[in-house]
Structure 1
Amino acid sequence: MAERRAKAAAEPHFLQFNDLACEAVGGKVIFATDEWFAPAANLLKREQPVFIASAFTEFGKWMDGWETRRKRTPGHDWCIVALGVPGLIHGFDVDTSFFTGNHSPHVSIQAACLDPPPTFSLEGDRTGMAASDAQLTAVAKVTRRDLQTRVYGVGQRDWSDISPNQDVDLLALTNGGVCLGYSDAHFGHPRNMIGLGRGVNMADGWETARRLDRPKHLEEDEHGVLLVPGWEWAVFRLGHPGVIRSVELDTDHFKGTFRTPAAWRCLRADHHHVFDEARSASAPPPATPPHHPPDGGISRLRLIGRLAPTSPSSTNQEGRIQTVKLRHTEQIKFNKVKCRN
């Protein structure tokens, strides 16, 4: 356990933030000078790159990335990526996996807020293609931005159009929610839980490794809660201080590795759970089998609530929440934290 967490701690801090350029949140390559061997759209894939030794296309070796022809003219190849979520960029992850004798030795990355945004776009599979003279002329009207691979940061949104009486997901990455820290992310990072829509598969959620300090024989207390020491945890900052009215926990796709009984509710496998004040007062916890593995995963986490005032006078207002901590092994708790500006 210590070795696993030490490795995670050695990574750049910004890697726990959100991937603002990922195709899953609407990121899109809107221009590339050349995409002969492999299209630039591969840069924004949710999945990690793979290598298939026997895979070839009519244009050459198939690669799960962006690969241009060998340059025979002055200049350099570049592409423009429109972020799916506007925000503050904290770092970049440039991955050259599997490009051994044909990788780019240098990369230049620039970013800008373009208002109005570019109107041009290159649609469809661009493998074996390059930008035409007309397309190069059109893109020349916009300052060139050599944006490549993953862009990590924190989303920002304009809250002026949200009514104080309107329910909104205060934790969504599109609303500025961000993961600040976690105990373990062996199979899936906790930031996946605040992503868009339902999870695609188990990899699109938060799943920790099985705890090595669990007892050899699991026992339960009189309430059916397994007696397992410790817990895994993740801390999130809301996109805007607010008052949480309901919590949604989704264990979609986690059938043999879902989180088991919580201290205040039981979780079922592959199920969308909604907890609010009305349900807590009138509905008993859903039934769950008495025995489960002590480790597992959660697909999505939504904190539905209403905005709280952001004036200095409301800094210590009770019930006003800016950060939440999710803990689990056999217990899931939300710790209210007063807003700290």
Structure 2
Amino acid sequence: MADTPKEGKLTRFLDFTQLIDMASECVGGKVLFATDDFFAPAENLIKSSSPSFKEHEYTQFGKWMDGWETRRKRIPGHDWCVIQLGVQGIIRGIDVDISYFSGSYAPRMSIQAANLSEERVPDIPPRGVKTGAAATPEEFGVISELKSDSWEYLVPMSELKPGDPDSGHNYFLVNSQQRWTHVRLNIFPGVGKPRSMADGWETARRLDRPPVLENDENGLLQVPGCEWAVFRLAHPGVITQIEIDTKYFKGNSPDSCKVDGCILTTQEEEDMIRQKWDLPAHKWKPLLPVTKLSPNQNHLLDSLTLELQDVITHARITITPDGGISRLRLKGYPSSICLLRPLREKPMLRFSLGFRANL
């Protein structure tokens, strides 16, 4: 297993962008494996044309995207794919293009590479149409013969910057004279374990609390005030499980919390922002009743959602009376209800990759 690389830095624009794209489909580049292709297949990574965006086009799995788009990671590990270069040679630089994914791109990535002779490459069946699917155990078994997790790093784990919506190039210089035949792209999700209280949400002490606190019959503090925050989901969907983590908040976690959801169009959201979220009470659907919280603990709670048709686009967490929370995760199933929304927001995760090198 290769040593885990340290986080790298972006390079300045270099003239390698004028060289041959060794991974492009037009010179014979081929995707051998990808862990997941739920929203859009990894083959889009090696298209010879520039990425495009079609505002009103959808597939049965969600918004059509001209790139590799995996489902949100909810299991250990990270997503990765293996590409066989169409032209073997020395890689001078790498262009990681996240155009049109300025709102939900992979925040970090790394690149590994290998120089493999034909006899070292197993017989890998054609991938076929992969949209809406994840790699099978059989596919994992075959690709494991390449031992790609131990390949040499050309780019260590590095942050990606969105740039303009239609021009999200991230350029990385490769300092290697080795010839390469295959590359592995690793993308890393943005959610992770909290590192400290600073890596969470903490409100100030409320000054309207009574001088002597008392509990009700359910053990909840009887206090007049609360704090709240509203979030727009990355994708409309049905929430089935709620995770509330108070890690590191040992003496300043909230006494309790509740979570509600609602469904809003883009225009309604804009109206609510202007009105400081003075939303009619009937618009909110309860996802989690008032629930007692413990300090420095991760709480996994079932949502109150009873039917799969109970779709939401926004969520509100309310904490009583004040305090801090490290993480809030709303887990569930995406829904095609997004077709009802005039999508002018930033699209989902897109990842386009170009390898440009001399021969």
- Range of TM-score over shorter length: 0.3 to 0.5
**What's the TM-score, normalizing by structure 1?**
0.41
Q: Considering Cα pairs closer than 8 Å and 6+ residues apart, tell me whether 1 or 2 has the greater RCO.
A: 2
What's the TM-score, normalizing by structure 2? 0.39
More strand by share: 2
